[in-house]
A and B are shown apart, each in its own frame.
Chain A
Amino acid sequence: MSALRVPLILIALAVLAAVPWFGSDVLVQFGINALLLAVLAQGWNIIGGYTGYASFGNSVFYGLGSYGVAIAMVQWELPFAVGLVFGVLLSVIFAVLLGIPVLRLRGHYFAIATLALAQVMTAIVSNVKLAGQNIGLVLPPLNNDLLFYESALALLVAVTLTIWWLSRSRFGFGLIAIRENEEGAAVMGVNTTLYKVMAFALSGVFSALAGGIHAYWVTFIDPESAFDISLNVKMIIMAVFGGPGTILGPIVGALSLSAISEFLSSEITSIAGLFFGIVVVAAVVLMPRGLADMLRRFRKTGWRYFAENIRANRL
Chain B
Amino acid sequence: MDLLAQILINGVLLGGLYAVMALGLALVWGVLNIVNLAHGAFIMLGAYVSWHLYTYLHIDPFLGLPITAVVMFAVGYAMQRGLLNLIVRAPMFNTLLITFGIEVVLTYLAQLAFSADFRTINPSYAGDSFQFGPVVLPVARLLAFGIAIILTVGMWLFLLHTKLGRAIRATAQNLVAARLYGVEPRHLYAMTFGIGIALAGAAGGLYGTVSQINPYIGASLTAKSFAISIIGGLENPLGVIVGGLFLGIIESLAALYIGPTFADVASFGVLVLVLIVRPSGLLGKTA
Could you list which residues of chain A lie within 8 angstroms of chain B, going by C-beta atoms?
Answer: 48, 54, 101-102, 104-105, 107-109, 111-113, 115-117, 119-120, 122-124, 126-127, 134, 229, 233, 236-237, 240, 270-271, 273-274, 276-281, 283-285, 288, 310, 312-315
Contact = CB atoms under 8 A, between A and B. Distances in A.
A315 B219 contact: no
A284 B98 contact: yes
A270 B93 contact: no
Contacts of A276: 104
B277 to A, nearest CB: 9
Given A108-B35, A280-B98, A116 B105 contact: no
A240 to B, nearest CB: 6
A313 B103 CA distance: 21
A240 B97 contact: yes
Interface residues of B, number: 46
B96 A111 contact: yes
Contacts, number: 137
B60 interface: no
Contact of A127 (B90, B226, B261): B261
A51 to B, nearest CB: 13
B256 interface: no
Given A119-B268, A127-B259, A288-B87, A112 B275 contact: yes
Contact of B109 (A274, A284, A314): A274
Nearest to B38: A277
Nearest to B104: A277
A288 B93 CA distance: 10
A117 B87 CA distance: 28
Given A120-B264, A123-B262, A315-B189, A284 B279 contact: no
Nearest to A312: B89
Contacts of B272: 102, 113, 116-117, 120
Interface in B211-233: 219, 223, 226-227, 230
B261 A314 contact: no
Interface string B32-59: 0001000000000000000000000000
A116 B109 contact: no
A281 B108 contact: no
A315 B271 contact: no
Contacts of B98: 280-281, 284-285
A314 B271 contact: no
Interface of B: 29, 35, 83, 85-94, 96-98, 100-105, 107-109, 112, 185-186, 189, 219, 223, 226-227, 230, 259, 261-262, 264-265, 268-269, 271-272, 275-276, 279
B105 A281 contact: yes
Contacts of B265: 120, 123-124
B89 A315 contact: yes
Given A101-B276, A104-B276, A119 B264 contact: yes
A284 B268 contact: no
B177 to A, nearest CB: 16
B261 A134 contact: yes
Contacts of A102: 272, 275-276
Nearest to B29: A108
Contacts of A237: 97, 100
Given A273-B108, A277-B103, A284 B92 contact: no
Contacts of B262: 123, 127
Given A117-B268, A288-B90, 9 more contacts: A109-B230, A116-B269, A119-B268, A120-B269, A126-B261, A273-B104, A278-B105, A312-B89, A315-B88
